[in-house]
Amino acid sequence: MGIKINEPIGAGIWAPFLIRLALGAYFIMAGLGKLEVLAAFIEQVKSFGILPPNIAALYATLLPYVEVAIGGMMILGLWTTLTGLLSGFLLLTFVFAFGFFPGGHDIFNKDLILCAAACSLLFSGPGVYALDNVRRVGPALAAK
């Protein structure tokens, strides 16, 4: 039984699960990284000059906690549509702040690709191993 190069090698329900894991891990790591240097991160966000200083400080203070929460919920598959929407919105704000071509060693803003991954969850649902499945059908049926 050979692999056909024009057909999937497995069930499509695994794709959203893998996207959730990767995107969730990204958000958790990004949030924890910002929390380690929160004061410097707040000053960096203020220095962009996009938002008024008080709002920039509030945004920069809350952002790491929001990222960790979104990442955790995404990995768990909890409120996948909401987390896909929120993560997509956050990623678009990053694209707005840094541009499509941020320069330096980045030839393209990776947040656009991550945003596409987040948006794909809006259409695919959570996939396998998600708390959303348990909430929707109950624990006994979710295992099947």
Q: pLDDT-derived band of residue 101, with 50, 70 and 90 as boundaries?
A: confident
Q: Which residues contact 138 (CB under 8 A, 6 or more apart)?
A: none
Q: How far is CA 45 from CA 1, 57, 102, in A?
A: 55, 7, 16
Residues 91, 109: Cα–Cα separation, whole Å: 10
pLDDT tens digits, one per residue of 10-40: 788 899 999 999 999 999 999 999 999 999 9
pLDDT number for residue 107: 77
Q: How many domains does the chain have?
A: 1
| Position 9 in a domain | no
Q: Measured between alpha carbons, how far apart are the two ends of the chain, in Å?
A: 26
Answer whether residue 144 shows pLDDT above 70: no
| Position 46 in a domain | yes
| Position 107 in a domain | yes
| Position 47 in a domain | yes
Closest CA to 73 of 83, 59, 65, 61: 83
Domain of 117 in residue numbering reads as 15-142
pLDDT number for residue 5: 83
Q: What is the mean pLDDT of residues 29-57?
A: 96
pLDDT number for residue 111: 92
pLDDT tens digits, one per residue of 113-137: 999 999 999 999 999 999 998 887 7
Residues 32, 82: Cα–Cα separation, whole Å: 21
| Position 4 in a domain | no
| Position 5 in a domain | no
| Position 66 in a domain | yes
Answer whether residue 83 shows pLDDT above 90: yes
| Position 10 in a domain | no
With residue 126 as reference, give the H or E element that holds it. none
